[in-house]
Structure 1
Amino acid sequence: MFTRSSVLVISTALMLTACSSSSDETSTPAASASSDSAPALTGTPVSVEVTGEAGSEPVVAITPGDPVTELEVTDVIVGEGDAVQAGATVTAHYVGYGAATGQMFDSSWVRGEPATFPLPNVILGWQEGLVGMQAGGRRLLVIPAELGYGNNPPPGSGIEAGETLIFVVDLVSSE
């Protein structure tokens, strides 16, 4: 079965301005960063297209654009069975890209085996974005910096400070 999904994540300068004045901002380093470290706005939304067979490495095409301000979750392939619960331990194949560069920074597919981890031990974008997913499913997560690494990405990761993250996750199982 060949599945094709195209997701357009809309993020405009107007939305970013409106969101930045919100009183709901957190006091994390990502929220308190200076404007010098924020990616320049282009007025162009991030565009992500995911293709490929279930159970095989996805093909991801990214057109870089402005950072997103909210978590975007799209089921590319809907799985079956029990849904992932908050705090679960999941086993998944995944690939991660930086939205600003379109460059892959991590992939369990490249390593040749899925990863297993408790959700509380990963970034907030995964903690929130995988809840409700079912085994056998493929999910696209477009994660704002505040739910990823903010302005403090892991050294040597290839992730830029303040960068929107894009993950395609194939859920193998959850406990």
Structure 2
Amino acid sequence: MSTETEIDKLTQEIENKLKFYEYRQSLKKEYEYTKRMEKLKQKIDLLKSKNETILQNIEKSMNKISNLKKHISTLESEMENKKKKLENIDDTSDFIGLNIYNKSDTLWNVQLYKLPIKNENDDDDRTFSFDIAHVGNNIELKNIYPENCIDTDQIMSEINATADDKKILKLIVLIRSELIRKYS
């Protein structure tokens, strides 16, 4: 074999090895690229999964917000109805001429006005007021205005003075009746 042939053969072998090396490098790059692509695909899948969970949570939150808005609307409607009822009660108490103010847990101030009584002087105040107090287990009348407008002993003798709500209401009705009887 001649030197030239050997050189050609060696050159061919070197070229083949270079091609093989380049091919191997190309495969290595492809493999690394494929690995990176797989990792990216996994990350994308993970993000898609998280995104779906987030979207579901957003949907649930929107439903909760919608339900809360409905509940708030219902509560506002109920509050408006209660407000109207309270206004009607205020109108009713004004119509019957009765106001009861809670001064404490054991003391109420009662005002009676618009009573169907004769009024000799139009400048006179037609409002009568008194306090009802819980003293122990009994109720007592205090601070009657105008003074001596009713006989408290007589009225208190008509009811058992034990403290309960029915007795207090009965006492108010008795005093109102006595005022109308006395001043009519």
TM-score by length of 1: 0.28
Pick 1 or 2: higher relative contact order, CA cutoff 8 A, min separation 6: 1
Structure number with bigger Rg:
2
Higher normalized helix content (fraction of residues)? 2
